Amino acid sequence: MKAASGARPLATSASNDAALAAESALDYPGWRVVLAAHFGVMVSFGSLLVFTFGVFLKPLSAEFGWSREAISRAFAIGAMTVAVCSPFLGRLLDRYGARRIVLPCMLVFGAAFSSLALLTPHLWHLYAIFVVLGIVGNGTTQLGYSGAITSWFTARRGLALAAVMAGVGMGSIVLPVIAERVIEIAGWRAAYSVLGALIFLLGLPLSLRYLRNREQPTVTATAASNDGAITSEALRSRVFWIIVVTLFLASISSNGALTHMAAMLTDRGVSAGGAALAAAALGAASLTGRLLTGWMLDRFHGPRIAMLLLALMTGGVVLLSQAHTLPAGIVAAVFIGLGMGGEADVTPYLLSRYFGLRSLSTLYGLTWTFYAVAGGVGPILMGRAFDLTGSYTTLMLVLAVPMLLSTLLFLWMPRYPSGAE
């Protein structure tokens, strides 16, 4: 089977050995970039907003009388805005580097998220804030950091990406519990304020101190023209569209289930604390999945690992649709978390292995467009299903079918281009 075109040959065996030795040292500068990225993504759009959104569903509905579908529409608006902006952000990241894009995005994201504490009874206010969050949101996620990380790592790339994405896992464990606890003690407005403060206290200082791309030789005019050629060739590649389709189908089901999981479990008699525990279990599993996937990606063929992760997510969605007790909810959350956590590592890794680094952020931004569209549609479908039928079960089972079938698409993935094994 023909390998994807457009990828640059990677290092020889000797240079790979040298890279492995350098990247294994604790004082290697790239690990400081990983540290900054780890805490940056912990308080990013993809963690802070996504994993706490469901915790605020019932408080906002009780405060303002909004339906779950109406509140979920805000998430969809944010996701659709991310979808529109991601390709442009990716292009800017390839051109200017992570530091010049991530830092201003983080500042605006922090201010906008904190302003949720000032919500009024007007839905347009909620939606307007989510538009702003969507415009800058992906500049705070792994999209913002992946180009910098892959510029520093070759032999340990899977592990480095996993260590970064472990920040999302840590956030998904800690942040819903913090939100739930603050809501119980001081209300939802205080919870938004506390979460917003974490962006400025935890994420911004480390990125300001350590985030930067590894210096590369000056790009010539010829190299610049090759940049466009690599992107256009990727868009004509079967490999790229397999990644996109599977990511899209997984995002509809997993994000729909994630954003409504807390409300779903409490509707079935699980306490609010129990639902928060299930969310924490999902986060712990996500963290575990990220670390295990990073370890496996440096040792095994990526598409086979992707198949395993999609199967886990599908199983988790099916189990959650039938979960009426806390133990069942936790088991379902663990399956979903393992799959979602690993999937976040796989996408940038596969793009870098098949298509090289020069246009990585651009290509990653394009995949994020499809992921974000699906991530916005999923929660709306879930909210609509509940408002019409009072149940999520049927829709979740329907969405699980194409996600399971999409795992088979990875059987058509070729081996990495020559020298990339």
33-53 per-position pLDDT tens digit: 999 999 999 999 988 888 898
Residue 216's pLDDT is 62
Ranges 28-32, 160-164, 202-206, 377-381: which has the least confidence? 377-381
* Assigned token pair, 360: 């990585």
Ranges 112-116, 178-182, 339-343: which has the least confidence? 339-343
Q: Is residue 220 part of a domain?
A: no
Q: State the DSSP string of 293-333.
A: HHHHHTTS-HHHHHHHHHHHHHHHHHHHHT--SHHHHHHHH
Number of H-type helices and E-type strands within the chain: 18, 0
Would you say how long the chain is, in residues? Answer: 421
pLDDT category of residue 418 using cuts at 50, 70 and 90: low
Is the CB of residue 247 less than 8 Å from the CB of residue 349? no
Phi, psi of 216 (to 5 degrees): -120, 160
C-alpha closest to that of 365 among 348, 353, 350, 343: 348
Q: What is the CATH number of the domain that holds 360?
A: 1.20.1250.20
CA distance 252 to 403: 9
Give per-residue pLDDT as tens, 81-101. 988 888 888 889 888 888 999
CA distance 310 to 342: 9
Q: Is residue 110 part of a domain?
A: yes
* Assigned token pair, 340: 């979602």
Tell me how crowded residue 25 is: count the other CB atoms within 10 A of its CB: 10
Token look-up 């796989």 returns: 346
Give per-residue pLDDT as tens, 201-227. 999 999 999 998 887 654 444 443 344
Tell me how crowded residue 158 is: count the other CB atoms within 10 A of its CB: 24
Question: Residues of the chain with pLDDT > 70: what percent?
Answer: 90
Q: Is residue 22 part of a domain?
A: no
Token look-up 């350590």 returns: 210
Q: Is residue 2 part of a domain?
A: no
* Assigned token pair, 377: 């549609």
Is the CB of residue 333 less than 8 Å from the CB of residue 317? no
Q: Is residue 419 part of a domain?
A: no
Residue 228's pLDDT is 35
Whether the model clears a pTM of 0.75, i.e. scores above it, the answer is no
Range of the domain at 257: 29-213+229-412
Q: Is residue 9 part of a domain?
A: no
How many domains does the structure of the chain reveal? 1
Is the CB of residue 4 less than 8 Å from the CB of residue 232? no
Q: Is residue 19 part of a domain?
A: no
Residue 330's pLDDT is 93
* Assigned token pair, 125: 């206010």
Which residue type does 52 have?
Answer: T
**232 against 59, higher pLDDT:** 59
Q: Is residue 8 part of a domain?
A: no
CA distance 308 to 343: 10
